[in-house]
Structure 1
Amino acid sequence: MTTRQVPRTIPTSLRRVPEARERFGSFADRYLDAMADGDPLADAFVADFPALGHGRAMRMLRTACREGIAAVPDAPASLVALFAELDAVPAWHDADAIDRDSRHTSRYSRASGIVLGAASLVSGYANSAASRPLELTGRYVENAGARTIEVGSWLLAVNQPGGLTRFSDGFELTVRVRIIHALVRASLRERPDWDTAAWGLPISQSYLAYTLVEFTLIPLRAMRRIGAPYLAHEEAAAYARWRYLGHLLGIEDGLLPRNAAEQERLEEIYLLTRPVVDDYCRALVASINREFLVPEIQGVLPQRLGGQAPRVVHALERLFLGDEIADELAIPRTRLTRVLAVVGPVLSLVNHLRDLVPGTLGPRTRKGKAYEVEQEQRLRRDWNVQHDLVDASPGGGRPHPARGDG
């Protein structure tokens, strides 16, 4: 049950609302209403932060994640209630099946790293309301590399075998992401520059639910387009994994997609109603391209082709996003997009046939896992990032509510 946190009004920045109601019926009503909904359990715990002290509250949270709520004898009722939900594993969740069916997905780790930046993250920037919290907390334009590494490290943890179990690193990171969202939500609601009438509640249920599309449907589709397709049971495991992650993140059942079809429906209504792209959206894309994606592609290309890295990044983004959104985000057009569109299906067929050859998945997976470790270490060294999430990032820069200094 979700507690309404702002008046029941449709944000004025949304477009084509009547068409959405006509096409999606009762689901549109729930999606639009949820623009006013936050995360009651996480929000209640964050409301206790002033009395507890930010540092003490976060230590309580980490202890409850690592040792259980019983290990926090002075835990406030809000934290006890939060972990009562987190500790109750839904009957539909089967972690063993997810681990079994996704044990070879790391064979495509090189491609998935590119897709994370050029598809998953960039796709969210075509919505000026959903990306507004990034603008007001300064997390991307000021340091795109650090933020991308934070997201990548979280995804690496939750995709490890056992990464969804109760006392795993992936579980703790996911719960901390949930509290970071609540801290940002509480901070922005108090700011005079947050326009509730236009944007709804910061990090609302509707936009939070769409993050599952960004990390499941969109990357799976993008992987196929660049010739790195997963097998059918691997894709099913990805949807199952993110259904549970969505539950841990506090997404209500009415918006939590269970499968590919429900993610596709969520993507359709999101794209139909999304606010217009603004200059900040374009600045986000320019920042992640300039500060992260182009340097990363330059490191992959032969030295003589390093100057083509921006063109490769733009081609990938246009392939993943489509020309309409890419035009709105001011991503330059390039003929290389058409080349990738032709080459991708051929590579997909070749790699799919490779996947069916007995005995090949294991060695390729081990090679991919070794690359993940090397890549994680290299990125942290190159970008001087030692923390995992923003709540543990060093101070000294722009204040952030997750650190307790904003």
Structure 2
Amino acid sequence: MPAFYPELAQRVRSQRELQPGLYGAIDFDAQPYRTTTDPADRTALPEWVADRAPYLADARAVELICTATLLGDVVADPYAALMSEYSVTALIDMLRLACREGIDAVPDAPPELVAFIADMEATPPWLDMDLVREGARYSRIPAALVAPFVTRGAFIATFVNTYAALPMALTGALSGKRAARRVNETTSFFAVTTLPGALERHGPGFEAAAMVRLMHSMVRYNALKRSEKWDVGVYGIPIPQVDQMPAGMINLYRLALAARRRGRAEFTASERAIVEFTRYRAFLLGLPEELLPTTPTGVIHLIHTRGALLREDFDDATCGEMVRSTMAAYLRPVDTRWERMAEAVEKSYSKVAFLKAFCNGDRSVAEAKGVSVGPADYLRIGVTAPFILGRLLAVRRASRIPALRRITDDYVVRLVKRRLKTYGKPEFTSDARDYTPAGQLA
């Protein structure tokens, strides 16, 4: 019985009642093989990051991670399950119309869509929209000036664990040209949410979050209902909320680590704005409040506990192939000599970012995971860093000067919009016809 998070546990159990055709046969009282509390097992929390023992000893945190490992999306999943009655195009069109014009604009809106939109419209009691807007202003600077060079590196980091990566592997959506589309969709989502007003009720970020949720729910539906490879006893719920938390909170994790290095137990005022913005964006993506900590210690502890319980596994036929496919993908909108040069620079930054953040700087570890870092990469970074990092520092400094803040923000907004054009129009869909057995991603 849950001792610390009974409401979250009830939400998990409600999935069987809300969607018996999808979750009726799942035992929500049993943890999948992917979750381990055995101190002898190797997990996704490397020794160089933290000692695993204190996290295993925290019964409250362990219960939270175990519970969230079984949580899908209680409102988006039932809507995605309507794929048996509606075409994917119809589901997307109804969702987009409801986001842009309201649920009343959708003729004969199915009750599943009504519940989905109502859930996103429900304002959490902790929300401070003024703080969200301020956090978005801070966040769009790295979205414009840093993210284009490192997102691929952060993206492939989600593929280095078989249990967490398998849902996307089964979709076949990360092989060939589809890999480029998914990377650009991810980058586009995080960029568009930073634009002024993007997370307001009828803003583009609100709609993008709804589309991401629908895509994830489609993956869950197709993995559970249409894939012979998905074993609930091993992998649990496809794309559980606990696996979405690291991607949605990675910027706060970096802020939290920096605060801890400086001996701070609290975020600064500007960091607190970024926290509010990130938490609300994650809320719109469906993450429960229990997975949205507000302090540096809370953020670090939650992400490390998740890693301490996630069994380590790197299957080269699945994880390695996805990493290689993503690294090989061409992300630029056109194929010219200049764009090829820009692509090479971006790949170098992504590879080195991955090396430092997820491999402790060990090139042999990175290479074993499909990322080779060589002298040419360091040369490209050395040549371009004065401009890329210099511009970032200059823009950040200017944004703190009241007289320059408006001019600086206008410049950053224009740059984000320019970036969005290069990412292309996101589709945020999952088609069962694309599904492939794990390990066959070519």
The equivalent of 1:370 in structure 2 is: 414
Aligned to 2:271: 235
Q: In 1, distance between residues paired with 2:200 and 2:423?
A: 27
The one-letter code of the counterpart of 2:309 is T
Q: Deviations over 1:336-377 (max 9, x none)?
A: 77998xx99x97996576665564444443333333233333
Q: Partners in 2 of 1:201 and 1:306 — Cα distance?
A: 36
Conserved 8 A contact 1:178-1:250: yes
Q: Is 2:117 the counterpart of 1:80?
A: no
**Which of 314, 317, 321 lines up with 2:354 in the alignment?**
317
- The RMSD of aligned alpha carbons is 3.9
Residue in structure 2 matched with residue 113 of structure 1 by the alignment: 148
Length-normalised TM-score, structure 2: 0.72
Unmatched 5+ stretches in structure 2: 1-9, 14-22, 40-52, 259-266, 437-442
Q: 1:246: Cα distance to partner?
A: 2.1
Q: Which AA in structure 1 matches 2:32? A: P
Task: Map Cα deviations across residues 241-264 of structure 1 (whole Å, 9 max, x no partner).
Answer: 221122222222332334443332
1:11 equivalent in alignment to 2:32:
yes
Output the CA distance in 2 between the equivalents of 1:328 and 1:212. 26
Verify: 1:248 aligned to 2:284, yes or no: yes
Q: Distance in 2 between matches of 1:57 and 1:306?
A: 35
- Cα distance change, pair 97–299 in 1 and its aligned pair in 2 (3 A): farther
Q: Which digits, 9 at most, give the CA deviation of each residue in 1:127-163, with x for residues without a partner?
A: 2111111111111222222112212222222111111
Change in CA separation of 1:329 and 1:218 when aligned onto 2, cut-off 3 Å: farther
Which deviates the most, 192-201 or 47-56? 47-56
Q: CA deviation at 1:312?
A: 4.8
Answer whether contact 1:217 1:264 (CA < 8 A) is retained. yes
Residues 159 and 17 (structure 1 numbering): CA distance in 2 closer, same or farther, change over 3 Å?
farther
- The match for 2:243 is 207
Tell me by how many angstroms 1:89 deviates.
0.9
Counterpart AA for 1:267: I
Deviations 1:90-114 (A, max 9, x none): 1211222221344254444222221
Distance (whole Å) between structure 1 residues aligned to residue 273 and residue 337 of structure 2: 32
Is 1:289 the counterpart of 2:310? The answer is no
Task: Give the drift of 1:67.
Answer: 2.0
Partner of 1:383: none
2:134 is matched with 100
Report the 3-state secondary structure (helix = DSSP H, G, I; strand = E; otherwise coil) of the residue aligned with 2:282.
helix
Counterparts in 2 of 1:250 and 1:370: CA distance versus 1, 3 Å: closer
Aligned-residue offset at 1:281: 1.9
Name the aligned partner's letter for residue 159 of structure 1. Answer: T
- Which runs of structure 2 are paired with 1:84-233 in the superposition (5 Å)? 84-108=118-142, 109-119=144-154, 121-142=155-176, 143-190=178-225, 191-214=227-250, 216-218=252-254, 232-233=268-269
Residue pair 1:164, 1:171 contacting (<8 A) in 2 also: yes
- Extract unaligned runs of 5+ from structure 1: 223-230, 381-386, 401-406
1:361/1:127 CA distance change after superposition, 3 Å: farther
Aligned residues of 2:256 and 2:297 also touching (Cα < 8 A): no
Distance, in Å, in 2 between the alignment partners of 1:112 and 1:246 is: 18
Letter in 2 for 1:67: E
The alignment-based identity, stated in percent, is 23
Partner of 1:389: 427
Residues 2-81 of structure 1 aligned to structure 2 (within 5 Å): 2-4=11-13, 5=23, 6-7=26-27, 8-18=29-39, 19=53, 22-81=56-115
- Partners of 1:3 and 1:308 lie apart in 2 by 44
Structure 1 residues 71 and 107 mapped into 2: Cα distance closer, same or farther (>3 Å)?
A: closer
| Alpha-carbon displacement from aligned partner over 1:264-300 (angstroms, at most 9, x marks no partner) | 222212332333222122222222222247999x988
Closer, same or farther: CA 60–24 of 1 in aligned 2, 3 Å: same
Question: Partner amino acid for 2:76?
Answer: A
2: distance between equivalents of 1:16 and 1:328?
A: 26
Aligned counterparts of 2:254 and 2:305: Cα–Cα separation in 1:
15
Q: What is the DSSP-based 3-state SS (H/G/I as helix, E as strand, rest coil) of the residue aligned with 2:31? A: coil
Query: Structure 2 CA distance, aligned partners of 1:302 and 1:140?
Result: 21
More deviation, 356-365/317-326:
356-365
> CA, structure 1 residues 59+23, in 2 after alignment: closer, same or farther (shift >3 Å)?
same
Task: Select which of 305, 324, 344 maps to 1:269.
Answer: 305
Distance across 1 between alignment mates of 2:346 and 2:213: 35
CA positional deviation for 1:166: 0.7
Contact kept, 8 Å, 1:294 with 1:313, in 2: the verdict is no
Alignment partners' CA distance in 2, 1:89 and 1:251: 14
Q: Matched residue of 2:323: which SS?
A: helix
How many residue pairs match? The answer is: 379
Query: Normalization by structure 1: what TM-score?
Result: 0.78
C-alpha separation in 2, matches of 1:111 and 1:255: 26
Q: Is the 8 A contact 2:150 2:349 kept in 1?
A: no
Q: CA deviation at 1:125?
A: 1.8
> What code does the residue aligned with 1:149 have?
N
SS of 2:126 mapped into structure 1: coil
- What is the aligned partner in structure 1 of residue 5 from structure 2? none
Structure 2: which amino acid aligns with 1:74?
Answer: D
Q: Secondary structure at the match of 1:98?
A: helix
| Cα distance, 1:372–1:71 mapped onto 2, change above 3 Å | closer
Contact 1:9 1:33 in 2 (8 A): no
